Amino acid sequence: MPTFDIIKKIEIKQKSFRVAQVCDQFDFNQNTIIEHFKGDFTLPDEWNVGVIVGRSGTGKTTIVKEIFGDVIQSFEHKADSVIDDFDKNIKSDELFNVLTQVGFSSPPSWLKPYSVLSNGEKMRIDLAMAILQNKDIIVFDEYTSVVDREVAKIGSLATQKIIRKLNKKFIAVTCHYDVVEWLQPDFIFSTDDYTMKHTRGLLQRPEIRLDIYQAKGYWDMFRKYHYLSHNLNKSAREYIAVYKDKPIAFCAVLNFPHPKIKPMWKIHRLVVLPDYQGIGIGKKILKFYC
């Protein structure tokens, strides 16, 4: 649908004492509140990721429902383990792969109920559920609305990576402008001024700079996220990766005896905090150590 022209009417059905007070105090004598949304919405010929962004109350949800109909806002979670909330017809290998790709790659956390997960982890779960639905276009309303803004940016980078890898079509509907450059969208529609911009290949995400230090005493911060063991060899050499003054990844190496190559080391533990998974930090760290 290249254009939209929406008239939204809200009837004031019953004037309570407080409603009458508001109408009297602010000189509002109408029985109907009318909102009008009109604009052009021409999608590019080729796209995978789009953004509809604008301030609260500018008609984002109204417009996307008019254009796309079925809009994702949240999912229902009832199972004792979040892994069981997914459709039983989805093959396990496909499910595990998507969970890992969206940055929710800790098997112990797959066994937890949705209610105990962090907001960042919940965002990854909802994204995985959206991706695994058989839809031509995934429209995600209130995108990153309840997530810490730094986590939202990293999560957005993971989102656009898997959407493009799987050749899906995903539209994020949000009032947060800070995630736009991290999503690197192919188009941006603003409900602030009803303009559409085709931006495929034009936006570059900010640099992620990691500082890596040899340091002791950080394993307790990361141990619960390691899926095999919480133990650490006392002879291990420990390193942390820091992003914006916050430790987000841990790596420990052990000396590996070799008759010809000295010194040789092997990876003992490698953990990336859940909120920073899915964007290749683990691989970057391994490459750095190698």
pLDDT tens string 99-118: 988 888 888 889 999 999 98
Same domain, 28 and 75: no
Residue 107: per-residue pLDDT: 84
For residue 87, is it within any domain? yes
Same domain, 71 and 48: yes
Same domain, 55 and 184: yes
CATH of the domain at 267: 3.40.630.30
For residue 205, is it within any domain? no
Task: Look at 281 and 32; give whichever has higher pLDDT.
Answer: 281
pLDDT tens string 57-103: 888 988 888 888 878 777 889 999 999 999 999 999 999 999 988 88
Residue 54: per-residue pLDDT: 94
HSE-CB for 257 with a 13 A CA cutoff? 0
Domain boundary, last residue among 166, 198, 230: 198
Q: What is the Cα 231 distance to its own chain's centre?
A: 31
Place 173 in a pLDDT band, splitting at 50, 70 and 90: very high
Residue 25: per-residue pLDDT: 82
For residue 181, is it within any domain? yes
For residue 204, is it within any domain? no
pLDDT over threshold 90, residue 200: yes
Residue 247: per-residue pLDDT: 96
Place 2 in a pLDDT band, splitting at 50, 70 and 90: low
pLDDT over threshold 60, residue 33: yes
Same domain, 194 and 140: yes
Bridge partners, 46 (sequence order): none
DSSP 142-188: TTTTTS-HHHHHHHHHHHHHHHHHTT--EEEEES-GGGHHHH--SEE
Place 274 in a pLDDT band, splitting at 50, 70 and 90: confident
For residue 18, give its domain range: 3-37
Residue 164: per-residue pLDDT: 95
Rounded to the nearest integer, the mean pLDDT of the chain is 89
β pairing state of 187-190 and 246-255: unpaired
- Both tokens of 88, joined, read 């039983």
